[in-house]
Copies of this chain bind each other. A is one copy, B any other.
Amino acid sequence: MLIRRTEETSYQEMTMPGAKDVTMQLMLGREDQTPTFAMRQFQVQPQGHTPRHQHNYEHEAFILEGQGQIIGGIDGSTIRPIGPGDAIFIAANEMHQFRNTGTQVLRFLCLIPNSFDCGNACQPTPGS
């Protein structure tokens, strides 16, 4: 059993192009010998956002605090409000972006599979 406390977990600035004022904490990842999926905690500052992008693996997210919007859909044309208690599934290859539209931090969990592209040889998912 492993317990990783939020207050003891280091923050990484999200430097990917298109990210603005986002940090990530890897709560449970491949290095912890998780066999299937990885748990990350994100904080987005007011007016900040994650990259608007897509990739060949899914996200499952859960909003912990704050208010925001999520951009989604195959072409990124869907915009919906998000707040605490919302669970979000973003399928592989869907365009997506999390935006903080509030005045407090937007904090959420975002989980990913450890591997993807398993049709050929599985690749480790970035950030897992």
Query: Which of B3, B34, B89 has a CB less than 8 Å from the CB of A1?
Result: B89
State the oligomeric state as a number of copies.
2
Q: Kindly state whether residue A18 has any CB partner on chain B within 8 Å.
A: no
Contact A27 B62 (CB under 8 A): yes
Nearest chain B residue, comparing its CB with the CB of A4:
B87
Query: Which of B6, B37, B78 has a CB less than 8 Å from the CB of A87?
Result: B6
A27 to B96, CA, bound (A): 19
A109 to B62, CA, bound (A): 9
Chain B residues within an 8 Å CB radius of A88: 1-4
Contact B3 A86 (CB under 8 A): yes
**Interface size class, chain A:** 35 or more
Nearest chain B residue, comparing its CB with the CB of A109:
B62
Chain B residues within an 8 Å CB radius of A85: 5-7
Chain B residues within an 8 Å CB radius of A48: none
Apart from A7-B85, A39-B60, list 20 A-B contacts with CB within 8 A. Answer: A1-B88, A1-B89, A3-B70, A3-B80, A3-B82, A4-B86, A4-B88, A27-B62, A34-B58, A34-B60, A34-B89, A35-B58, A36-B37, A36-B113, A37-B37, A37-B60, A39-B111, A60-B111, A62-B109, A109-B109
